[in-house]
Structure 1
Amino acid sequence: MDRALAVLLSFSTRRTEWGVMELAAEFDLDKSAAQRLLSTLTHRGFLYADPVTRRYRMGPAVWRISHTWERRGGMALLVEPVLAELADATSRTASFNLADGAYVRCVAAVDGGDVPIRDHPLVGELYPAHAGATSRAYFAFLSPSQRQSLMYHRPLAKFSDLTAQDAHTIEAEMLLVAEKGWAYSEGEYDSNTRAIAVPVFVLGRPVGSVSLGEHKREDLGDIRDLVSLLSQTAGKLEALLSAQSAEPR
């Protein structure tokens, strides 16, 4: 069992497939043992065997388990204590958001201020790629071609007078965010709020963002002074989601 789990955990953005001999060498197995292990995982749907290359990739059972865990609240329960620590320390609303097509979707949120940032729950809300720090902190760390395929082939909605709709303007802001490492917005998506956000990476790949937001009625000082603390929180989330020890950013 432990060896099977170790094989599944060995897949990453750099290691997307295994051959029988490669796996045998990596895990110090003989060829027949490696073949049996891969065949068992394939039979249960955790791996897929390419009939042409005879190499093994992750299978649909992995997606089914991860989808159930995230959509049924498992991820929220995992990250909420980290968000609560940030919300309590800053008196702002902290949220964790995952990529969802041309949006990022709020998975978990914790209010820390006296004035809630919204009069309705944030969890489940979709933030469009072109409007606001929460989404821009993720999309800025994709390649230009990825942004092009996700964002610019569709109409860009205008949420307020501050919402940019010109692709060149949006792209310039994306490049600036990628250079700085964080995003700031005020009134682009919701005219009553301002926010800062940083990307969250898992095993070197951007998966979403963590953000701090506040209602404009709040007077708690410049929210941009909290970027360092927000980056520390992103590091904690990355460690949780990568099953690794947190490292300073």
Structure 2
Amino acid sequence: MTVGPTGERGPLQTVDRALDILLSFDEFRSSWGVLELAEEFGLSKSTAQRLLASLAGKGFLRADPDTRRYSIGPAVWRTAALWERSGGLSALAEPMLADLARGTGRTALFCVPDGVHVRCIAAVSGREGPRRSHPFIDELYPAHAGATSRAYFAFLEPGDRRSLLLGRPSARFSELTRVDAEGVEALFDETVVAGYALSQGEYDSSSRALAVPVFGGVRPVGSLTLVENKLSAHDDELADHLNGLLAAADELTGLLSNRRPEPPRRDWRRGHGAHAPRVTPDPRQPDPQ
């Protein structure tokens, strides 16, 4: 192993650079050319070429022979599939759900998108125990009803969300369920402005839920939710735990993004990033929905 003049160990520095290149791919950067990669990372053209070629040789990148650009390769898919088989997102979220359930006494859920629903992939019961007889895992929550799904769908780009939901019938689950498209969009708008979703039984008439989005980079990847039975007795209000829920979502966002950013905010009028402050709900004035 060689040590450079600055004390950096050559092979380890090369590994770091290779990993930085892999982590640089996202929804905005799907491919790299040699020259632009060299400029971006402050590398010589020959070093950038060697790094890209090495990653392509192991299958982590794929070289396009026509454009001479490099994109993510099949080895990344194999690695991701192995991670999912070993628990993946659910295993990553479970420690945070356990902390939330222990600290709040409520059931904590982590849900991810599944078409026009979100699906629960991890759940931990609070002190009151299971809130119902059937399990939360694999339950689907429709986009238009309830805080759990609204905390995810509200933070999609408005055009993407409309293309998913346009023309689809909306079932009414309780007298609080909004089924008109204009009303549902208004709830999405309110969620983006506030930074959270609070429901009082629009999906499950016997429950109350508080949910926040989880991001991977700049796009939402799911939602974290605290759920309680409306008849359960607690010494505090569900809304009192918003800050703890936001902190858990920020931690999970950081793990998924390989950093700890302030979660992206959406300007719901334009679909661009915005930075309006989150508003903590007043537990004395619960959301009528």
1:70 Cα offset (Å): 3.1
Q: Does 1:34 align with 2:62?
A: no
Which of 229, 244, 247 is residue 229 of structure 1 equivalent to?
244
Q: Does 1:66 align with 2:74?
A: no
Q: Distance in 2 between matches of 1:166 and 1:107?
A: 29
For structure 2, the residue ranges without an aligned partner over 5 or more in a row are 1-14, 264-277, 279-289
Residue of structure 2 in register with 1:201 after alignment: 215
1:144-191 deviation line (CA, Å, top 9, x unaligned) = 211111122322233333322211110111001111111011222222
Tell me the matched-pair count. Answer: 249
1:245 Cα offset (Å): 4.5
Deviates more, 1:150-159 or 1:211-220: 150-159
The one-letter amino acid paired with 1:118 is: R
Q: Is the CA contact (8 Å cut-off) linking 2:111 and 2:122 kept in structure 1?
A: yes
1:181-226 deviation line (CA, Å, top 9, x unaligned) = 1101122222221101011122232111111001222122431222
Q: Distance in 2 between matches of 1:103 and 1:61?
A: 30
Which of 137, 146, 171 is residue 151 of structure 2 equivalent to?
137
Q: Distance in 2 between matches of 1:118 and 1:176?
A: 29
Q: Is the CA contact (8 Å cut-off) linking 2:64 and 2:70 kept in structure 1?
A: yes
Q: Distance in 1 between matches of 2:229 and 2:20?
A: 46
Q: Does 1:81 align with 2:95?
A: yes
TM norm structure 2: 0.77
Q: Distance in 2 between matches of 1:67 and 1:188?
A: 36
Deviates more, 1:11-20 or 1:189-198: 11-20
1:72 Cα offset (Å): 3.9
Pair 1:59–1:157, CA change in 2 (3 A): farther
Q: Is the CA contact (8 Å cut-off) linking 1:236 and 1:246 kept in structure 2?
A: no
**Which has the higher Rg, Structure 1 or Structure 2?**
2
Deviates more, 1:80-89 or 1:220-229: 220-229
Deviates more, 1:158-167 or 1:82-91: 158-167
When the two chains are superposed, the root-mean-square deviation of aligned CA atoms in Å is 2.4
Q: Distance in 2 between matches of 1:151 and 1:68?
A: 32
For structure 1, the residue ranges without an aligned partner over 5 or more in a row are none
1:103 Cα offset (Å): 1.8
SS of the aligned residue for 2:223 comes to strand
Larger RCO, structures 1/2 (Cα 8 Å, 6+ apart): 1
Residue of structure 2 in register with 1:239 after alignment: 254
Which of 7, 25, 47 is residue 61 of structure 2 equivalent to?
47
Q: Is the CA contact (8 Å cut-off) linking 2:152 and 2:221 kept in structure 1?
A: yes
1:18 Cα offset (Å): 0.9
1:80-101 deviation line (CA, Å, top 9, x unaligned) = 1111111111100111222232
The one-letter amino acid paired with 1:84 is: A
The one-letter amino acid paired with 1:185 is: S
The one-letter amino acid paired with 2:131 is: I
Pair 1:153–1:45, CA change in 2 (3 A): farther
Which of 120, 123, 127 is residue 106 of structure 1 equivalent to?
120
The one-letter amino acid paired with 2:63 is: A
1:247 Cα offset (Å): 6.3
Q: Distance in 2 between matches of 1:165 and 1:67?
A: 37
Which of 135, 156, 160 is residue 174 of structure 2 equivalent to?
160
1:17-62 deviation line (CA, Å, top 9, x unaligned) = 2111122233444434433432343344422334543322223432
Deviates more, 1:132-141 or 1:216-225: 216-225
Q: Is the CA contact (8 Å cut-off) linking 1:199 and 1:234 kept in structure 2?
A: yes
Pair 1:118–1:72, CA change in 2 (3 A): farther
Q: Is the CA contact (8 Å cut-off) linking 1:116 and 1:215 kept in structure 2?
A: no
Pair 1:144–1:26, CA change in 2 (3 A): closer
Q: Is the CA contact (8 Å cut-off) linking 2:109 and 2:123 kept in structure 1?
A: yes
